[in-house]
Structure 1
Amino acid sequence: MNNIAIITDKDEKIKYDDLKMYIEIFSSKMIFKSTILIIASNTIGCMVGYVSCLKSGNVPLMISRDMNYESIQVYIEKYKFNFLWVPDMWIKENVAEYKIIYREFRYCLIENNIEQPELHKDLALLLTTSGTTGSNKLVRISRDNIEANTNDIINYLNIDDTDRAITLLPMNYTYGLSVINTHLKSRGTILLTELRPFQSQFWDFFNKYGGTSIAAVPYTYEMLLKLGFKEWKLDTLRTMTVAGGKIGITEEQYFIEYAKTNRKKFIIMYGQTEATARISYRPWNMAEEKSGSIGIPIPNGRMWLEDTNGNVVSKPYTQGEIIYQGKNVTMGYAYELSDLSKGDERKGILNTGDLGYIDEDNYFYIIGRGDRTVKINGHRIDLKDMEKKIEADYPEYKVVCEIEKCLDTGLHKRIKIILENRDKSIHCVQTSENTKKIIDMISWKMNISSQMIYIEIQQ
């Protein structure tokens, strides 16, 4: 049986027995059912902190390390976390004084608030929704949710102790966490790295330690295609999965053909944070026949369509909202500290907000959203919420947010923000200075990259 849990790109190896010891040490530093904010990174420190919390009954919130200090402080103040588990560098970059009670793996455990919050007994994990929509809303996830989704993913991907998954996704992202959960549960190995797949060192590391799978969002596959992925020598690669948005037709066909030619598996999946990660998958052997489909429900899950009146839509090629039922459906949202004491509000049923249809074989297809939420590179963004936030800061403008798509792939590329001057008697001049100021404000408030935003000011 495999006994190596983690291998890093610095050739560090942690056995399962050692990981168990680190978990016990870390857990001893906290009181049972504490809350802890973890700044996520694909490092040993972050992984030990995350796994320790799940094993010891403490409740972590996984936060992107790309989030700015001010935004992180909002979460800390709003949810009053007992502890913070943060990289050493984060302490150095921020001037506030902290009480550090433990230091290991270039991470610090900070005691922040000694008052124990009232937590529901089933609460195990907190996540933001697919990156962020710019709010402080959190998804409340139970231990049973994690266990159910982990087991189902292991089942349909046939993950075992011979599998070695490389970290392409951040640990604050539900898809990324599912890779960690499934491979540790199967006693496989995590190839832990913060290298990017566009760097040759990433694939050198993958080949050196016999990586067997990659999990990525559509944008990554788009880039890999442009880099000539088909020409690379990846003998140990067995499985490629994609989720986090719709993959372009060109990329889909390219990787289906690659998998077929090289006897690999290419599996398209669909999920939401509100379902602990996974809702459906397209079996690898149906990749060509069901092109464009998100597939069938994961094992032990159920999917159907409903019209606007709540009636079940069973006729093929007829539009309806995709509804999902399963033990992995999360408990609900948290908007403030008191919500952490709430129980299961969804009762196993999730209205996804995605519109779609089924074919004659009951394979599901997505055609759009019922609201104005979009995904760009795995980040969920509420355009309506964005418009409100901008207008609150710039009341002189009427704001319209649109999505620009790549002409070649049809994928969402960036947000176009149109600012229309409400007072036509005042002439507005669009300069790089005022445009940058607005972009920086939006980037900070919505916690998205400024490169995803384009401003157009109209008179």
Structure 2
Amino acid sequence: MNLFNLKSNDVAIITNEQTYAFSEIPKIEFRSASKELILILCQNTIDILATYISAMNSEHAVMLIAEGINRELLANIIETYQPKWIIGLESHKGYEKNENQLIRTKEIVTNIHPDLAILLSTSGTTGSQKFVRLSYDNIRVNAESIIDYLQINQNERAIMNLPLSYSYGMSIVNSHLLAGASILLTDESVMEKSFWEFVKKHKATSIAGVPFTYQMLQRIGFTKMELPYLKTMTQAGGRLNEKLVKHFAEYAIEQNIRFYIMYGQTEAAPRISYIPYEKVLEKSSTIGIAIPGGKLSIDAETEELIYKGANVMMGYAENLADLANGYELNGVLYTGDTAIVDEDGYFTITGRIKRFIKLFGLRINLDDVEKKLEEELQISLACTGSDDKLIVAIEQADFVEQVKEALERLYKLHKTAFKVKVIVEIPRFVSGKTDYMKLKESCL
């Protein structure tokens, strides 16, 4: 498919150890008579990124999974989707090792849609085998739109410390490589001194982050740093506190930096809207306007935000057979968020129809978490929360530590990301279903 041009001698990837031109990126062969699935356990290393680029330029479909995924869930995904190749795993039953790859030993007949490029989990590491199916056109169109409104050119050097398995991180790679720009690849945190040494040494021109990133940037005194080459800052992955938006927007104006607030969903590959940098202070409570080539509207009856564009996914997959399916949404995505629009055409999210929260940029399905914990602990519980904390309500104080341990083990969540609250009785409707509105009121 050759999504990325690897013939150029321009700088493509910079790591702590080495600089690679596009033509020097290691090429990995995936040979098969038919279209197959490549599963990549993602880390921010040159080996993994080179594998991703090679896989995207092959005729095969690529499943991107967080390296820290729960191993039981990973085993279930492998069993369900039967990938031909697995990258980033040392061993697995039914696979043999060949250099850095695991190759399936059993030959099976796969029927994968010719347009299918990428499979991304709907829930990160948190327990779902459901994946978003993105086509080559979905990826290319969204990357081109991002290049357009962020004004990315060959001189850009983007720091890439977000996970590749996260749609925001993936979009940074796709848009910059497609534009012929450079990526500074690292897995270090903004809290580490060596991260900023890397940024300064290689003259990063842009930095991207989720709300938690910007909270950390404020904590470490980012606005006092000497970063003369920084030209662009972007934020997505959940709503950023308006106080922080104002803080960074004012800094950006002082330093002649473009600061973009963005909104998206994995189902849209992932970018849906943005606030033009010159409007960030004025429109700080909104998600902005539709990206170039996209269109936003609001359902008159339900107030649900609807997005239309060529970047809308093909559909979902829950098993191997689903990979044969074509385009099921006709370019229209019902976002699950309710919204209003102002007289200038800027949209503001007012709530969620479905039960999702975003923690550190990762979308969490509260119903999935609730179901898994109930199966694990065999107690009555209910989940609620906001975009900065997951709350698990239980009626038995004896189980607090067990719930905490299960959350850390099953979902790889840091203890600051959740709270276990003991309540007298979980509020329910007459039907017996949980009253989540009352639950949230009593827990937040």
- TM-score, normalised with respect to structure 1: 0.86
Q: 1:436 aligns with which of 391, 401, 404?
A: 401
SS for the counterpart of 2:87 is: strand
Alpha-carbon distance between aligned partners in 1 of 2:207 and 2:263, rounded to the nearest angstrom: 16
| CA 335–233 in structure 1, closer or farther in 2 if over 3 Å, else same | same
Match of 2:61 in 1: 59
Give the superposition deviation at 1:157: 0.6
CA distance in 2, matches of 1:285, 1:217: 20
CA distance in 2, matches of 1:149, 1:179: 11
Identity of matched residues, %: 38
Q: Is the 8 A contact 1:135 1:446 kept in 2?
A: no
- Which of 80, 103, 110 is the equivalent residue of 2:102? 110
Equivalent position to 2:361, from 344, 367, 378: 378
Q: Where does 1:42-441 land on structure 2 (aligned, <5 Å)?
A: 42-86=44-88, 90-91=89-90, 98-102=95-99, 108-112=100-104, 113-129=106-122, 131-308=124-301, 320-395=303-378, 397-403=379-385, 412-421=387-396, 430=398, 434-441=399-406
Query: 2:94 and 2:334 mapped to 1: Cα distance?
Result: 44
One-letter code of the match for 2:133? R
Change (3 A) 1:8 1:44: same
| Letter in structure 2 aligned against 1:15 | A
Q: Secondary structure at the match of 1:27?
A: coil
Number of equivalences: 416
8 A contact 2:13–2:184 mirrored in 1:
yes
Q: In the superposition, relative to structure 1, how do residues 216 and 50 fare at CA in structure 2: closer, same or farther (>3 Å)?
A: same
Instruction: Give the 3 Å change call, closer, same or farther, for CA 70–385 of structure 1 in structure 2.
Output: closer
Q: 1:118 to 1:441 in 2, by over 3 A?
A: same
1:425 is matched with which residue? Answer: none
**Shift of residue 133 of structure 1?**
5.0
Partner SS state of residue 436, structure 1: helix
Aligned to 1:17: 23
Q: 1:130 to 1:272 in 2, by over 3 A?
A: farther
Residue 56 of structure 1 deviates from its aligned partner by: 0.9
Residues 400 and 420 in structure 2, CA contact (< 8 A), matched pair in contact too: yes
Kept in 2, the 8 Å contact 1:353–1:371? The answer is yes
What CA distance in whole angstroms lies between the structure 1 residues aligned with 2:309 and 2:135?
A: 13
Cα deviation digits, residues 69-96 of structure 1 (max 9, x gap): 222111111111111011xxx52xx686
1:110-132 CA-to-partner distances (Å, cap 9, x unmatched) read 10253241101111110012525
Q: Which runs of 5+ in 1 are unaligned?
A: 103-107, 310-319, 406-411, 422-428
Question: CA 1:39 to 1:231, structure 2 compared with 1: closer, same or farther past 3 Å?
Answer: same
- TM-score, normalised to structure 2, is 0.89
* Counterpart Cα distance in 2 of 1:450 and 1:214: 26
Judging changes above 3 Å, is the alpha-carbon distance between structure 1 residues 287 and 457 closer, same or farther for their aligned structure 2 residues?
A: closer
Deviations 1:167-191 (CA, angstroms, capped at 9, x unpaired): 1210000110110011111111111
Per-residue CA deviations over 1:240-261 (Å, capped at 9, x if unaligned) read: 0000000011210111011000
Give the C-alpha shift of residue 449 in structure 1. Answer: 4.1
1:214–1:363 CA distance, 2 compared to 1 (3 A): same
Take 2:44 and 2:408, find their aligned partners in 1: how far apart are those partners? 23
Residues 221-250 of structure 1: per-residue CA shift (max 9 Å, x gap):
011011111100000000000000000112
* Closer/same/farther in 2, CA of residues 41 and 30 from structure 1, 3 Å limit: farther
1:263 Cα deviation from its structure 2 partner? 0.3
Q: Distance in 1 between matches of 2:78 and 2:415?
A: 24
Structure 2 unpaired stretches of 5+? 1-7, 425-444
Show the counterpart of 1:408.
Answer: none
Contact 2:339–2:347, Cα closer than 8 Å, also in 1 = yes
CA RMSD of aligned residues (A): 1.9
CA distance in 2, matches of 1:449, 1:229: 23
CA distance in structure 2 between the partners assigned to 1:30 and 1:304 by the alignment? 43
